[in-house]
Amino acid sequence: MVTGPVPLPVDRTDPLRRSDDPPAGVDVDGGRLLSRLDEMAAISATPGPAVTRVAWSPEWRAAAEVLHDWGPRVGARCWMDPVGNVIAEYPGSDSRLPPLVTGSHLDTVPGGGHLDGTYGVVAAWEVLASLAAAGRVLRHPVRAVAFVNEEGVVAPPYTGSRAVAGLLESDELDQQPSAAGSRSLRALLESAGCQPAALDRARWTQPVAAFVELHVEQGPVLDQGGVSIGVVAAVTGQQRGRVRIRGQANHAGTTPISMRHDALVAAAEVVLAVRAVSGPGGCDVSTVGRLDVGPNVANVVPGEVDMTFDLRSTDPRRLSAALSDLVRRAEQIGAARRVEVTVDPLPPTAPVPADPLVREAVRRAATSHGLPTLSLASGAGHDCAIVAGLGPVGMIFVPSTGGISHHCSESTPPRDLLGGARVLLSTLVDLDRTLP
Ligand SMILES: [Zn+2]
């Protein structure tokens, strides 16, 4: 949809504005930011405060239409791409320059919080509204994006960001994601009003000047440290996989301890081995999240165990060292417990460092607003890492109260929500000036 600029009513009742804020020519409207977050939170398949807006669901579609309506009101060209990403673009003064891009994801996990993803989307649209309200045109176009299916509830994650980055193959559309019932992903997209046949048109064929994603931390570091702004140094890499343990199921009363091939006793040691490969010299964090025990009967020595493992690090060498260490420990456990232990790693996802220019711009922006910063890694994956091939990327975190996310009690103090949006806007204005 293309429309001309429409002046926005400016809300002068921002309760969070500090009297010593720098008199910049453009600023976000705190009242509008918070009321738009409330408006989005109400679009949910479950009653509040939990928000359920699974990708391509009727609630997701309703939220996408609200975003689409906000675009024209700020003089931005706004459209939905063939997979369901909602994009708004505010023109720049130099049409030869690639866009500065900001945004996050519009979908949620079932029973999730109102800020995960949505905060970065609403703030991105607020950046456009603020530029329009101030009549400010940057050199670069400014593009706001609401990616679809970051969470991967109904289909493998990052559908929207993989589509724009050219990393989504059309074969995937013909698979039947288990959570989508008997339908293919293509049929699910069509039923949500998307145009999967035109997948190629979702791809961004030109580079971006920079992509900056604003997000809640989803962890406790900023909240516990009393720091308002996190400057993300890197998005973590992941090495996931399965461990299969095969012993011999047998009678729990008649099989002497010394003669058992107990798969679950070996599995207990493998769980501790997974834990042991994180720490100094190893990966950052490591988890066994699932165990399947066979036959899982009280009076039978377990004969089979399958388990998952999830290793994460921002350093690819430490990630592969942790995997080698795990394989070595698993072999030793198998020999000692007289069971067969097989480690099956999945293809790893590489860590993505944030671009130094973006990190510095975020730091300068926070300093200009008098906000303290902390450099930290993102232990969760984000769309920002998926689109890193398109140009320099970076992330801004705001505190998650109690470190809680993916839950209805997810929250961030309004002062920090507004601070993060202000830092986002100032970062983009800074990058517009400082990018080579
Ligand atoms: Zn998220």
The pLDDT tens digits of the residues spanning 103-122 come to 999 999 999 999 999 999 99
Q: How far is the CA of 403 from the centre of ligand 1 (A)?
A: 14
Question: In terms of pLDDT, which residue wins out, 119 or 177?
Answer: 119
Domain extent listing, the chain: 30-235+353-434, 238-345
pLDDT tier at 403, thresholds 50, 70, 90: very high
Stretch 308-318: mean pLDDT: 95
Residue 18 tokens read as: 């500090």
Q: How far is the CA of 35 from the centre of ligand 1 (A)?
A: 20
Residue with tokens 């961030």: 412
Residue type, 134: A
Q: How far is the CA of 277 from the centre of ligand 1 (A)?
A: 27
Q: How far is the CA of 148 from the centre of ligand 1 (A)?
A: 11
CATH number of the domain at 30-235+353-434, out of 3.40.1280.10, 3.40.630.10, 3.40.30.10, 3.40.50.300? 3.40.630.10
Q: How far is the CA of 215 from the centre of ligand 1 (A)?
A: 7
Q: How far is the CA of 130 from the centre of ligand 1 (A)?
A: 24
Q: How far is the CA of 429 from the centre of ligand 1 (A)?
A: 24
Other C-beta atoms lying within 10 Å of the C-beta of residue 235: 28
Q: Tell me phi and psi for residue 20, to 5 degrees.
A: -95, 15
Q: How far is the CA of 243 from the centre of ligand 1 (A)?
A: 28
> Residue 18 pLDDT > 80, yes or no?
no
Structure confidence at residue 411 (pLDDT)? 96
Q: How far is the CA of 436 from the centre of ligand 1 (A)?
A: 30
Q: How far is the CA of 406 from the centre of ligand 1 (A)?
A: 9
Q: Cα separations (Å) of 328 from 25, 271, 324, 343, 432?
A: 60, 14, 6, 10, 50
Q: How far is the CA of 158 from the centre of ligand 1 (A)?
A: 10
Structure confidence at residue 178 (pLDDT)? 60
> Residue 21 pLDDT > 50, yes or no?
no
CATH class for domain 238-345?
alpha beta
Per-residue three-class SS string for 61-123: HHHHHHHHHHHHHCCCEEEECCCCCEEEEECCCCCCCCCEEEEEECCCCCCECCCCCHHHHHH
Other C-beta atoms lying within 10 Å of the C-beta of residue 90: 26
Half-sphere exposure of 25 (CA within 13 A, CB side): 8
Tell me the Cα Rg of the chain: 24
**How far apart (Å, rounded) are the C-alpha atoms in residues 117 and 28?**
19
Q: How far is the CA of 374 from the centre of ligand 1 (A)?
A: 20
Supply the DSSP string of 383-409, one letter for each residue.
HHHHGGGGS-EEEEEE--GGG--SSTT
Residue type, 93: S
- The per-residue pLDDT of the chain, averaged, comes to 92
pLDDT tier at 176, thresholds 50, 70, 90: confident
> Residue 14 pLDDT > 50, yes or no?
no
Question: In terms of pLDDT, which residue wins out, 178 or 135?
Answer: 135
Q: How far is the CA of 1 from the centre of ligand 1 (A)?
A: 27
Q: How far is the CA of 260 from the centre of ligand 1 (A)?
A: 46
Percent of the chain with pLDDT over 70: 94
What's the distance, CA 45 to chain centroid? 21
Other C-beta atoms lying within 10 Å of the C-beta of residue 86: 26
Stretch 60-67: mean pLDDT: 97
**How far apart (Å, rounded) are the C-alpha atoms in residues 106 and 104?**
7
Question: In terms of pLDDT, which residue wins out, 16 or 205?
Answer: 205
pTM listed for this prediction: 0.87
> Residue 287 pLDDT > 80, yes or no?
yes
User: What digits encode the pLDDT tens for the residues 154-168?
Assistant: 888 999 999 999 999
Stretch 266-284: mean pLDDT: 97
Taking alpha carbons only, the member of 266, 272, 256, 270 closest to residue 304 is 266
Structure confidence at residue 23 (pLDDT)? 37
User: What digits encode the pLDDT tens for the residues 336-388?
Assistant: 999 999 999 998 989 999 999 999 999 999 999 999 999 999 999 999 999 99
> Residue 179 pLDDT > 80, yes or no?
no
Q: Indicate if 238-345 has the same CATH topology as 30-235+353-434.
A: no
Taking alpha carbons only, the member of 430, 357, 416 closest to residue 391 is 357
> Residue 45 pLDDT > 60, yes or no?
yes
> Residue 11 pLDDT > 80, yes or no?
no
Structure confidence at residue 22 (pLDDT)? 37
Structure confidence at residue 274 (pLDDT)? 98
Q: How far is the CA of 108 from the centre of ligand 1 (A)?
A: 8
Q: How far is the CA of 377 from the centre of ligand 1 (A)?
A: 15
Q: How far is the CA of 315 from the centre of ligand 1 (A)?
A: 22
> Residue 142 pLDDT > 60, yes or no?
yes
> Residue 2 pLDDT > 60, yes or no?
no
Residue 4 tokens read as: 């001309």
**How far apart (Å, rounded) are the C-alpha atoms in residues 192 and 245?**
42
> Residue 6 pLDDT > 70, yes or no?
no
Structure confidence at residue 71 (pLDDT)? 87
Residue 320 tokens read as: 């592969």
